[in-house]
Amino acid sequence: MKATIAMFVASAMTIMLASPSLAEGKRAPELPLEDFFRLPTKTAYRLSPDGTHYAFLQPWEDRLNIHVAKIGEEAKRITSSTERDIRAYAWVNDDSLVYLQDKGGDENYHVYALKKDGSGILDLTPFEGVRAGILDDLEDDEDHILVEMNRRNPQIFDVYKVNIHNGNMEMVAENPGTVGGWMTDHDGVIRIAYAMDGLKRTILYREKASEDFSPIFSTDFTDSVIPVGFTADNSKLYVLSNLDRNTKALYLFDPAKRSFVEMLYERDDVDLSGIMWSRERKKLLGVTYYTDKNQRHFFDDQTRNLFSRLEARFPGYSVGISSMSKDERKMIVAIASDRMPGRLYYHDLDRPEEFDLVADLYPWIDENQMAHMKPISYVTDDGLTIHGYLTLPVGVPAKDLPVVVNPHGGPEVRDTWGYSPEVQFLANRGMAVLQVNYRISTGYGKDFWMAGFKQWGKKHQDDITDGVRWLIDQGIADPKRIAIYGASYGGYATLMGLIRDPELYACGIDYVGVANLFTLLESIPPYWELARQKMYETIGHPEKDEELFREISPVFHADKIVAPLFIAQGANDPRVKKAESDQMVEAMKARGVQVQYMVKDDEGHGFQNQENRFDFYRAMEGFLTEHLKLKE
């Protein structure tokens, strides 16, 4: 079952810096740029339902392709993609798989099926300009999957039952025009639709596939009641909700009575993010949430004991289970940390002491040469606690360092703890990296999220600036060597940082970033249309808030940018169109200021192809070396 419903106060700052032994130790050697950004040796292992085979992604012709192996035997490559990496795939049965792929970064994904020996590749959604995704793999149906597509109307997604052998399909759920997500029960029947009508959010429900959907609960968009799964008998729902509270808690909900039954788990500091469910035992195992790191609360002793055993076997690492056989006896265990990008082990519960290494994702990365990502927090002048991360270069005193401020994209997401090739690359070059979960970042409750409404380029930016000034006050940052770099919304924050605080930043790098709020909302992908009214509330309305939009759109304030600027853009970006970056470059040129501008014709919202990543980060390194005076 799957749901797609997918002014600073210095005295209040707390931070954990690198240990004295690390800071006083030997500086890490300068590693090749390619080591950070090249493809992994192998990744994304998935066990077949019977547990006898596993599939994984491995580079071939500099693109990630699917390979399949019987446990203990040599693998065979079964796809031959040379245009784009294959990033997402799944087993449908013990003999067949499906995968998703777009063209040139346009995000119009097609769903393909093939046999585990590589034969019979079939495009199940051979429609131009259509975006498709897998809603449910239909665990108990070996011949079909449920696919969402905006074929009938580019703004909304209907659901089709598709035969993986011949591509035959039938519509099983027609979108009335307001549904933004669907959810199936444990039998693969679509029982829930999540409707978006302006600022209203409604859960639609039906008892059987033959019945019409009926509303069972409605809220304003700021209040969440989000179904995340059915109970074992398919009669009740598990929902995450912040109704009448700040953070999302887990509840049992009775759709027949249209009422909450009981609260199952809550936290006052952060939102709950999802549930852990056993398909085999049809049982709720636990719930997940994120503080400084990913956390779990268990309802099931067997699962609690399993994770306790895994954590004892791999102390100091974050552990997870990335794939399991249908009987849940065989699994792929994943371990990682902020300094180690990942290792995968095959584990059979019938051999509890044995863990067979199947992949070291990036064996050339020596974690002893990588930097620690340390949680930080501080309180703003209006009383909000801001959380983030600070990474300091290895073996370098935390004093007068060049700094890269790296605001996240979204903006309604959050930075998390873990290995980041970007962060480690910058730290390896001697720079500190500051990541800030500014207001509107998700996971910290409704109040923190709403405090960021209509604050693009304003209080969002203040939260970022406050962290930078603290680094300067503490002597960690060299005030003359601070850069700001971000992607998507982070690219926008880069431009606004250079505009609002021209004395603070020595240079900026805008990667697929927004330059003009008016044109951004004019050119959103058609399948974002249901969220337009919500964007008007969280960002602003181009007509009602015209003055605000002119104030916070970088393109109208290019005259305030005095620091060197580097812009990178994918020509096929469906989210932040190339026109956004073109406008900014032209506005700078009109002032007689040249901007370093990189455009990749075969990319979209971020560079996926390895050679393009190399080009971008090589240019970034040269740009930062020059303007932060890294090598004098």
Q: What local confidence, expressed as pLDDT, does residue 22 receive? A: 39
pLDDT at 24 > cutoff 60 = no
For residue 211, give both structure tokens. 């019945």
Q: What local confidence, expressed as pLDDT, does residue 17 receive? A: 34
pLDDT tens string 101-112? 999 999 999 999
Cβ atoms of 366 and 35 closer than 8 Å:
no
| Separation of alpha carbons 248 and 270, rounded Å | 8
489-500 and 459-473 helices, crossing angle to 10°? 70
Q: How does residue 361 score in pLDDT terms, banded at 50, 70 and 90? A: very high
Q: How does residue 591 score in pLDDT terms, banded at 50, 70 and 90? A: confident
Q: What local confidence, expressed as pLDDT, does residue 383 receive? A: 83
Whole-structure pTM value: 0.92
CATH 1.10.540.10 at 43-169, yes or no: no
Look at the chain and count its residues: 632
pLDDT at 331 > cutoff 80 = yes
Sheet containing 110-115: order of strands: 88-91, 96-101, 110-115, 122-123
Strands 76-77 and 88-91 come out as unpaired
Taking Cα atoms as reference points, which of 474, 603, 589, 489 lies closest to residue 535? 489
pLDDT tens string 204-238? 999 999 999 999 999 999 999 999 999 999 999 99
pLDDT at 408 > cutoff 80 = yes
Three-state SS string over 51-88 comes to CCEEEEEEEECCEEEEEEEECCCCCEECCCCCCCCCCE
pLDDT at 530 > cutoff 90 = yes
Backbone dihedral region of 167: left (phi > 0), alpha (psi from -120 to 50 degrees) or beta? left
Q: How many CB atoms are located within 10 Å of the residue 522 CB?
A: 11
Q: How far is CA 25 from the centre of its chain?
A: 34
Q: What local confidence, expressed as pLDDT, does residue 381 receive? A: 79
Residue 183's alpha-carbon distances to 191, 546, 581, in angstroms, are 6, 38, 37
* H/E run at residue 167: none
Residue 563, SS3 per DSSP: coil
pLDDT at 247 > cutoff 60 = yes
CATH level 3 topology of 8-34+367-627:
Rossmann fold (3.40.50)
pLDDT at 518 > cutoff 50 = yes
| Separation of alpha carbons 625 and 627, rounded Å | 6
Q: What local confidence, expressed as pLDDT, does residue 25 receive? A: 65
Residue 315's alpha-carbon distances to 307, 336, 374, in angstroms, are 11, 11, 18
Three-state SS string over 353-397 comes to CCCEEEEECCCCCCHHHCCCEEEEEEEECCCCEEEEEEECCCCCC
pLDDT at 275 > cutoff 80 = yes
Q: How many CB atoms are located within 10 Å of the residue 306 CB?
A: 20
pLDDT at 539 > cutoff 60 = yes
Q: How many CB atoms are located within 10 Å of the residue 539 CB?
A: 22
393 phi/psi in degrees, rounded to 5: -60, 145
- Please give the positions annotated as active site: 488, 573, 605
Give me the mean pLDDT over the 405-417 stretch.
Answer: 97
pLDDT at 11 > cutoff 50 = no
pLDDT at 550 > cutoff 50 = yes
> Which residue ranges make up each domain of the chain?
8-34+367-627, 43-169, 176-267
For residue 382, give both structure tokens. 């209006």
Give me the mean pLDDT over the 568-573 stretch.
Answer: 94
Give me the mean pLDDT over the 397-418 stretch.
Answer: 97
Cα end-to-end distance, the chain, whole Å: 57
* Buried-exposed string 307-340: b where 16+ CB fall within 10 A, e elsewhere: beebeebbeebbbebebbbbeeebbbbbbbbbbb
Domains 8-34+367-627 and 43-169 share a fold: no
pLDDT at 3 > cutoff 80 = no
Only one residue has tokens 């109704």, namely 243
pLDDT at 286 > cutoff 60 = yes
Q: What local confidence, expressed as pLDDT, does residue 23 receive? A: 37
Taking Cα atoms as reference points, which of 531, 367, 534, 540 lies closest to residue 457? 540
Cβ atoms of 130 and 106 closer than 8 Å:
no
Alpha-carbon radius of gyration of the chain: 25
Spatial neighbors of 426 by CB under 8 A, at least 6 apart, are 391, 404, 433, 624
- Half-sphere exposure for 294 (CA within 13 Å, toward CB): 16
Q: What local confidence, expressed as pLDDT, does residue 146 receive? A: 98
Cβ atoms of 565 and 596 closer than 8 Å:
yes
pLDDT at 592 > cutoff 90 = no
pLDDT at 571 > cutoff 90 = yes
Give me the mean pLDDT over the 389-410 stretch.
Answer: 97
Q: How does residue 8 score in pLDDT terms, banded at 50, 70 and 90? A: very low
Residue 274, SS3 per DSSP: strand
pLDDT at 462 > cutoff 50 = yes
Average pLDDT taken over every residue of the chain: 93
Q: What local confidence, expressed as pLDDT, does residue 632 receive? A: 61
Amino acid, res. 613 = R
